[in-house]
C-alpha cells in the first residue's frame, strides 16, 4: 500500500496542493489526485496582503485529477490530504467525498489538512473533540462541529495532522509523512 489521496476541486490552493504532492513523491509514495470528476482543475493562489483584511486570490497552476470521488475505494489508500483554497467549501457536500473522509477517520489512517481543508471533515462529522490548526477564519467551521482550534503551525492529534496555511507546510507535512511511513511499514 503506497497510494495517498490528495483532495482537490476548482479553486484549490496551489501551494497547499503542490507542496505535499511533491513531498509524497520524494518519500516514495504515489500521490493520487481525487476530485468530483476526472479532469483538469484550475488552482488559485491565496494571500492576505499587508493592510488587507480579506484574502486576495489570483490564478495559479492547474492539476489533473486521477480519479473521481465516486470511483474511489478508500480502503486502497494509505492516507489522505485535504488541501485548502475555496474548493473545500463546495466539495464538502459531495456524498462520495463524505464517504471517503469518514473511512479515513474511522480506520485511523494518516490524515492531513491545511487552511480551508478543515471544512470537509467538519461537514462529514469527523472532528468532535479533535484538536486542529486551520486558518483563523475557518475556526468557526471547526468549533461548530465540536473540534478544538489550536493556533499553531503543526497540530498532531493521533492520526490527524494539521497546519494553518501554506506558511506552515515546512512544519506539519513532515509529521504527516512520518505517520504515512509508519503506516506503510505496518501494511501487509
pLDDT value of position 188: 78
CA distance 72 to 94: 13
Domain residue extents for the chain: 3-186
pLDDT in tens, 62-79: 999 999 999 999 999 999
Give pLDDT, residue 101: 98
Cβ(111)–Cβ(172) below 8 Å: no
Q: Give yes or no for residue 48 having a pLDDT over 80.
A: no
**Ranges of H-type helices in the chain:** 14-26, 87-91, 95-107, 119-123, 139-144, 169-186
Q: Is the pLDDT of residue 40 over 80?
A: yes
> Among 46, 103, 116, 169, which one carries the catalytic annotation?
116
Asked if pLDDT for residue 54 goes beyond 80, the answer is: no
More confident residue, 51 or 142: 142
Whether 46 is a known active-site residue: answer no
The answer on pLDDT for 39 being more than 80 is yes
pLDDT for 170: 97
Given pLDDT bands bounded at 50, 70 and 90, which one contains residue 13? very high
Whether the per-residue pLDDT at 46 is higher than 90: the answer is: no
pLDDT reading at 55 higher than 80: no
Residue 50's pLDDT is: 84
Q: Give residue-wise pLDDT tens across range 89-114.
A: 999 999 999 999 999 999 999 999 99
Instruction: Give the Cβ contact number of residue 25 at 10 Å.
Output: 11
For 109-132, write each residue's pLDDT tens digit.
999 999 999 999 999 999 999 999
Q: What is the CATH number of domain 3-186?
A: 3.40.50.880
Confidence (pLDDT) at 52: 80
Q: Which residues, including other chains, have CB under 8 Å from residue 61's CB and lie 6 or more apart?
A: 14, 18, 43
Amino acid at each position: 500500500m503506497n497510494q495517498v489521496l490528495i483532495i482537490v476541486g476548482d479553486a484549490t490552493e496551489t501551494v497547499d496542493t503542490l507542496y505535499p504532492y511533491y513531498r509524497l513523491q520524494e518519500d516514495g509514495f504515489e500521490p493520487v489526485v481525487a476530485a468530483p470528476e476526472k479532469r483538469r482543475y484550475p488552482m488559485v493562489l491565496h494571500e492576505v496582503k499587508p493592510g488587507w483584511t480579506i484574502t486576495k486570490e489570483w490564478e495559479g497552476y492547474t492539476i489533473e485529477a486521477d480519479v473521481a470521488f465516486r470511483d474511489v475505494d478508500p480502503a486502497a489508500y494509505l492516507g489522505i490530504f485535504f488541501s485548502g483554497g475555496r474548493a473545500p467549501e463546495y466539495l464538502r457536500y459531495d456524498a462520495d467525498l463524505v464517504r471517503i473522509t469518514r473511512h479515513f477517520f474511522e480506520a485511523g489512517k494518516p490524515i492531513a489538512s491545511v487552511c480551508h481543508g478543515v471544512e470537509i471533515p467538519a461537514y462529514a462529522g469527523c472532528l468532535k473533540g479533535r484538536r486542529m490548526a486551520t486558518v483563523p477564519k475557518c475556526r468557526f467551521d471547526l468549533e461548530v462541529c465540536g473540534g478544538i482550534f489550536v493556533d499553531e503551525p503543526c497540530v498532531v492529534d493521533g492520526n490527524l495532522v494539521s497546519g494553518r496555511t501554506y506558511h506552515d507546510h515546512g512544519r506539519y507535512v513532515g509529521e504527516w509523512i512520518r505517520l504515512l511511513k509508519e503506516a506503510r511499514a505496518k501494511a501487509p
